[in-house]
Structure 1
Amino acid sequence: MPVGTRLERKHLAAKKPGTGIPADQIDLVVGCRLVTEVRRGRMLKTEDLCSAEEDD
């Protein structure tokens, strides 16, 4: 997904085992904007995201 994409629930999947953003925090990720390009299937990292509050 390109830089600037605002994440929606349809963009996200929880996978195990995983070391990325915990599945129970998915609601915190929805609405965030990507600040780096993320290829399909790559684990998201917090540094890939700009919080929804920072974006306004």
Structure 2
Amino acid sequence: MNSEKILFTIEDAAKILNLKISRLRTAVFRKEIGYVKLSGLVRFTKENLEEWIKRSQVNAG
């Protein structure tokens, strides 16, 4: 089995995105970012994070 992480905690995701945990929690509450809920715990896939980054991108010009 691959040792690469499949799901990230909110703390992991905040570090990856260079955000405060509170900002990421707000994004979850507002449904601005996709997530997985397992046994009541919020987790993120790599794709969730990448998609949010793409939607947040502002193009110059």
Structure 2 length-normalised TM: 0.27
| Higher percent of residues as helix | 2
Q: Which has the higher strand share?
A: 2
